[in-house]
Structure 1
Amino acid sequence: MARATGVPGTPALPGEWQTIDGIAYRNVALCFLFRVHDGVREVLLGLKRTGFGTGRVVALGGKIDGQESAVDAAVREVAEESGIQLSAADVRSAGRITWSFPAQPGWNMAAHLFTADAGNALPVAGEEIEPRWYTVDALPWNGMWQDGPHWIPALLDGHPVDARIVMAPDNEAVDSAVLE
């Protein structure tokens, strides 16, 4: 099995990690599903029950497996975490973002961001995520990662996101956020 460059002892399949400017990042896909309910635009997020980010409200998504495409990973993760079935044609690119965790480099991620319309699909809670619809103007910021306010509003407004986030040594606060 290949080893992730820059993350000693971390097994990885080809394509699961990439190196940017000498820093290793796990490749992930995040998908924000939208619907209009009673005339109000909503986004599907989920309370993370297990794994990375436990206890936080997060977007649906996760790591890209092996040689899987980012779109295929987004479709798979949405199905696994909410029960909502999408096709690759339903998913639209919404940009890219990297998160660097200098105090915990194994957490570094490079995300492909996607959006999709959920229509009338009803999410189902699973072992990993408890999905819930939130109005886009009343997100649970206090329950989310602290970097969210730096880039999620642009995504919600339909703007492509190109961001680099560096987390503080406590792995909670944001040390820097660059959006282009």
Structure 2
Amino acid sequence: MPCILPPGLEGNLVEYVQGGEGGWLSFDQKRFYTNAFVIQDDKILLGLKKRGFGINKYNGFGGKVEPGETLIEAAMRELKEEAGIDAPLEHAGSLLFMTKGAGWAFQIEIFSAHSYSGTPTESDEMRPEWFSFASTASNADAKVPPIPYETMWDSDVYWLPLLVQGRKFVGRVDCVTQDDGEFAMTRHWFGTVILEKSARASH
């Protein structure tokens, strides 16, 4: 059954979760960014942002798409610059973030890989760390801490589980800026991509 998508989203989607209230914020342009994650076994590689936007939060590795770059080129460049590794990244999802008063939206394309080459290395911007997304009962390696949602963006708890499950997703988050400079979600919607039968059969 088709669902009504928030403005700015498109595709053959089924709703996964939504929340908040009020109308969706309007915007007149998108600015493209990437965010890349390496997933191995029951672990995911995140980076602690050391400066700039999102400082002291854990996130994937990424940033702005530069003129002349494709999305995948930008994702691979940012992963190399911020974590010192190369990986066979594949597109995993899309997120649209809108902040009240901005007039433009972050269009963040999410990439993931299940292998990499090199050694995760701290950079001027990010400190890579492994985290476990396994349940406590099945996590044999107690030295790997669980995903630190309390020090991540508020929306990550909704879509990161879809990423580690390998489910392609699309989402939108509207925010307002609080007095302390932090962002507070006012409305959110996340959905999973419905694969065509022919596409499913070929995998």
Task: Give the TM-score band, short-chain normalised.
Answer: 0.7 to 0.9
Structure 2 partner of 1:96? 94
Matched, 1:164 2:172: yes
Structure 2 partner of 1:26? 31
Residues 108-167 of structure 1 deviation map (CA, whole Å, 9 limit, x = unaligned): 310111111235742000000001011124210111011111211111111111101111
Offset at residue 104 of structure 1 (A): 4.3
Matched, 1:139 2:147: yes
Contact 1:47 1:57 in 2 (8 A): yes
SS of 2:163's equivalent in the other structure is: helix
Larger Rg: 2
Provide structure 2 residue ranges, at least 5 long, that are not aligned to the other structure: 1-25, 135-145, 192-203
Q: CA RMSD in A?
A: 1.8
Q: Percentage identity across aligned positions? A: 26
The AA in structure 1 aligned to 2:90 is R
Between 110-119 and 59-68, report the one with greater CA deviation.
110-119
Larger RCO of the pair (alpha carbons < 8 Å, separation 6+): 2
What is the CA–CA distance in structure 2 between the aligned matches of 1:139 and 1:103, rounded to whole Å?
31
Contact 2:65 2:71 in 1 (8 A): yes
Contact 2:155 2:173 in 1 (8 A): yes
Provide structure 1 residue ranges, at least 5 long, that are not aligned to the other structure: 1-20
> Compared with structure 1, are the counterparts of its residues 174 and 22 closer, same or farther at alpha carbon in structure 2 (3 Å cutoff)?
closer
> Compared with structure 1, are the counterparts of its residues 133 and 120 closer, same or farther at alpha carbon in structure 2 (3 Å cutoff)?
farther
The AA in structure 2 aligned to 1:109 is F
Matched, 1:150 2:158: yes
SS of 2:52's equivalent in the other structure is: coil
